Structure 1
Amino acid sequence: MTDGVLSPTPQEGFRSGFACFVGRPNAGKSTLTNALVGRKVAIASSKPQTTRHAIRGIVHRPDAQLVLIDTPGLHKPRTLLGERLNDLVRGTWTEVDVVGVCLPASQKIGPGDTYLVGEIAALPKRPKLVAIATKSDLVSPDRMAQHLLAIAALEETLGVSWSSIVPVSATQGEQLDVLADELVALLPEGPMLYPDGEITDEPEETLVAELIREAALEGVRDELPHSITVQVEEMGLREGRPENKPLLDVYATMIVERDSQKGIVIGHRGSRLREIGAASRQQIEALLGTPVYLDLKVKVLKEWQRDAKHLNRLGF
């Protein structure tokens, strides 16, 4: 491979394909995706239902190219947006070679987990399944042993077959190489799908919007996260700058559903908005490697999560 051109003949036995991580909201899917890719491609937050797009992260190895698709958590939808996100999850299952089911070791397997695995088991064309005991650093060895037995028991109760069961800690980097090996082993042999070094096929505008939303989610009240979305209105390098001093102009709008929410996001005399701007600008600069001027506004789009026209315009 040279100059970002796909090699038509990778080494014999080279594997390539798609895997997606599924699980309840906040099961560690996005953190795991970022850890395996080695760069931040998916936003992560302690708030449930943070992920709203199927973000692709690309893992490059000498023997394989593994494309990870980070999907939203399957949940009981309360809005049209929620229904569309669940459809996105189910649609992704039918397109991948492997599904990694994230079952946090810090929580007992519950009805949400069994429902999710049961839904995958009912697919007409079932992908290969790997069980991932995420957040392994948060539990004792005894608790982990109990958790792994409970995961294994799902095979009989739900009629599934795990290709492997792997405990991992994405934050501590534990067992990530083992998990990558297991996923790669389940991929078909095939050519490279993306140029070497490319870590995601998401448009930069989408990644920038997501980083702003991630910053906005920190420290807000429970009902607010679902109501926030971000649109990048305009983005480009500022003209007239010397080549060695580029500046990327980003004009973005945070969208909420009610005036009261707008007040929360802006904060007292704009303090919260400034915090969001500073935090997201730092992340955008790290992602794109360019100094950034960020112009951030907030507007109200009433009940956008429940309105088909608004959802279509916002790309959901």
Structure 2
Amino acid sequence: MDSPTPSSYSDIPDGYRAGFACFVGRPNAGKSTLTNALVGAKIAITSGRPQTTRHTVRGIVHRPDAQLVLVDTPGLHRPRTLLGERLNDQVRAAWAEVDVIGFCIPADQKIGPGDTYIAKELAAIRGTPKVAIVTKTDAATRQQVGEQLLAVAELGETVGIEWAEIVPVSAVAGDQVALLADLLVGRLPRSPPLYPGGELTDEPEQVMVGELIREAALEGVRDELPHSLAVTVEEMLPRENRPKDKPLLDVHAILYVERQSQKAIVIGTGGSRLRDVGSRARQQIEALLGTPVFLELHVKVAKDWQRDPKQLQRLGF
């Protein structure tokens, strides 16, 4: 993976490690929440809806002894659209380039066909260490967690994976997150840092703003909408002629859906839902960028965009 490299390493201790780790798993397995917990900041959107992650976001964990770059990929799934195929391609491309792979399996759900499908794909990747991560332990009983750890070990034997580690984690409660970081760092090569200190992600601000808007729009909506919703940020510009001590950033974004009925869901009665989405997204954007924001949202219909190569390209996929 190409990465910007600092020019001076004079203060890097002996034995310093740096490299890439990738979290994989079926949709809604807790990958984004875990990425945010390890980085210590919100750099990946989270949602109770499956398939909310659309981009491979790199989160950067800085430690005195190491730099761990986390690649948070979309959930691998059996694709039903061209968008689904392209998201799967992103996942496989990430697998081929990382130093260690973390396979996330929720503690509160039985291992299913989706987990087995991914495990078989992982088994075909030779030479890359694989850490099994039993996520969401806060949502399961101790007995469930124990049973899931055994089931994960058995899954590895069935598909031919020798797990480097099997570790239970709760990103929400913070349980064993530091231990997981140690285990992942231990699998990285000796290397100077790959990114400047203090940088938490290499995702462009405009993309992150679009993701925060999409996250706000997904809260409390019907099952069909997450797959059909895309956001583009058309403009992010400082408001002209503002006092230096009172800056304002103008953000103009478009939410795309596939059908007129979905547009009505996003807008809500008299525009009430879109105003609520804008209010929640604006708070998150201001927290991300550290500046007051004026957010303007519009909703447009792009018919069947998930299956149209030209529209997918225009929307950044």
- Using structure 1 for the length normalisation, give the TM-score: 0.97
Higher mean Cα deviation, 82-91 or 7-16?
Answer: 7-16
The residue aligned with 2:69 is 67
Would you say the 8 A contact 2:119–2:156 is kept in 1? no
The residue aligned with 2:79 is 77
The residue aligned with 1:310 is 311
Would you say the 8 A contact 1:235–1:248 is kept in 2? yes
1:7 Cα shift?
A: 3.2
Cα deviations by residue, 1:9-46 (Å, 9 ceiling, x for unpaired) = 42110000000100011000000000000000000001
Would you say the 8 A contact 1:72–1:89 is kept in 2? yes
**Of 88, 94, 97, the match for 1:95:** 97
Matched, 1:119 2:121: yes
Structure 1 SS opposite 2:277: helix
Cα distance in 2, alignment partners of residues 147 and 226 from structure 1: 29
The residue aligned with 2:181 is 180
Higher mean Cα deviation, 240-249 or 294-303?
Answer: 240-249
1:142 Cα shift?
A: 1.6
Partner AA of 2:78 in structure 1: K
Cα distance in 2, alignment partners of residues 7 and 170 from structure 1: 34
Matched, 1:29 2:31: yes
Cα distance in 2, alignment partners of residues 216 and 245 from structure 1: 28
Identity of aligned residues (%): 67
Over 3 Å off, 4+ runs: 4-7
1:154 Cα shift?
A: 2.1
Partner AA of 2:171 in structure 1: A
Cα distance in 2, alignment partners of residues 153 and 221 from structure 1: 36
Count residues with an aligned counterpart.
312
Would you say the 8 A contact 1:94–1:126 is kept in 2? no
1:5 Cα shift?
A: 5.2
Cα distance in 1, alignment partners of residues 84 and 215 from structure 2: 18
Cα distance in 1, alignment partners of residues 97 and 237 from structure 2: 34
Cα distance in 2, alignment partners of residues 91 and 185 from structure 1: 23
Cα deviations by residue, 1:39-98 (Å, 9 ceiling, x for unpaired) = 000000011100011000000000000000100011111110001001111111001001
Structure 1 SS opposite 2:33: helix
Structure 2 SS opposite 1:103: strand
The residue aligned with 1:199 is 200
Would you say the 8 A contact 1:6–1:194 is kept in 2? no
Partner AA of 2:131 in structure 1: V
Structure 2 SS opposite 1:202: coil
1:295 Cα shift?
A: 0.7
Would you say the 8 A contact 2:6–2:193 is kept in 1? no
Structure 1 SS opposite 2:174: coil
The residue aligned with 1:300 is 301
1:239 Cα shift?
A: 1.7
Would you say the 8 A contact 2:6–2:194 is kept in 1? no
Matched, 1:211 2:212: yes
Structure 1 SS opposite 2:84: helix
Partner AA of 2:227 in structure 1: H
Would you say the 8 A contact 1:98–1:128 is kept in 2? yes
Partner AA of 1:170 in structure 2: A
Partner AA of 1:299 in structure 2: K
1:6 Cα shift?
A: 4.8
Matched, 1:163 2:160: no
Matches within 5 A, 1:35-74: 35-74=37-76
1:240 Cα shift?
A: 1.4
Matched, 1:8 2:9: yes
Structure 2 SS opposite 1:88: helix
Cα deviations by residue, 1:158-203 (Å, 9 ceiling, x for unpaired) = 1111111110000001100000000000000001111111000011
The residue aligned with 1:20 is 22
Partner AA of 1:67 in structure 2: V
Cα deviations by residue, 1:193-229 (Å, 9 ceiling, x for unpaired) = 1111100001100000000000000011111111100
Change over 3 Å in CA distance of 1:5–1:19 after alignment to 2: closer
- How large is the RMSD of aligned CA atoms in angstroms? 1.1
Would you say the 8 A contact 1:6–1:192 is kept in 2? no
Partner AA of 2:82 in structure 1: L
Higher mean Cα deviation, 241-250 or 92-101?
Answer: 241-250
Cα distance in 1, alignment partners of residues 49 and 113 from structure 2: 20
Partner AA of 2:183 in structure 1: E
Structure 1: runs of 5 or more not aligned = none
1:126 Cα shift?
A: 3.9
Cα distance in 1, alignment partners of residues 156 and 205 from structure 2: 41
